[in-house]
Amino acid sequence: MTEPMHVQEELTALIDGELAELDRVRVEEHLSECAPCRAERSLLEGAIRVSRMAPSIEPSQQLRRDVLNAISAEPQRLRARLRRLFAPRVLVPTFALAGMGLLLVLAMHGAGPRPSETEEYAVADRLELLKDYELLSNAAAEGFAPEDLEVVTHLHELGE
């Protein structure tokens, strides 16, 4: 028998009153039967009570200024990184390498002989026969009787 699913991930939402009604009922039913999850809920509720008793801390004006300065400096750092990334000494070799790779792919795609149209038609004319041979080879590998294989060898004559 499989172990029942625990609801630890939903306990915070339950405590905060954020679960939908059906989910709340399901979680509370689970809690009525599961001691480990009830213990987890008690721990979370205790942690919330303790955190509410702690005095609120008001950040100093200097801390506020430092945080705001760090935030305003961030876009400048990003711009500097982008400028370095898109500098000609980086872009030119990158595009040259990409271009050579594209040329190589295009050259390889066009390489190799293409069968002529008459060769393609010859294969298409014998496609049914080729399928029969494939069927024969599979049947022989699976141990069919020679009489069964004899019938298959004449299947292409039925279409004539």
pLDDT in tens, 36-76: 999 999 999 998 888 888 888 888 899 989 988 888 777 77
Query: Which residues form the domain of 154?
Result: 117-159
pLDDT of residue 29: 94
Q: Within a domain: residue 22?
A: yes
Q: Exposed (0-12), middle (13-18) or buried (19+): which is 37, by Cβ within 10 Å?
A: buried
pLDDT of the residue at 148: 64
**SS3 assignment, position 8:** helix
What's the total number of domains in the chain? 2
Residue 86 lies in a domain: no
Report the candidate in 5, 39, 48, 36 with the shortest Cα–Cα distance to residue 23: 5
57, 66, 72, 124, 141 from 63: Cα distances, Å: 12, 5, 14, 80, 80
Q: Does 44 fall in a domain?
A: yes
Rg (CA), the chain: 37
Any domain includes 152 = yes
Is 134 within the bounds of a domain?
yes
Would you say residue 75 lies in a domain? no
Q: Is the pLDDT of residue 1 over 50?
A: no
For tokens 């982008």, what's the residue? 82
Question: What pLDDT band is residue 80 in, cutting at 50, 70 and 90?
Answer: confident
Burial of 17 (C-beta count, 10 Å sphere; 0-12/13-18/19+)? exposed
Kindly state whether residue 25 falls inside one of the protein's structural domains: yes
Q: What is the mean pLDDT of residues 137-149?
A: 63
Answer yes or no: is 38 within a domain.
yes
Contact 40, 8 (CB under 8 A): yes
Residues 139 and 152 sit within 8 Å (Cβ to Cβ): yes
Helix 35-53 × helix 8-15 angle, to 10°: 40
According to the model, what pLDDT value does residue 62 have? 93
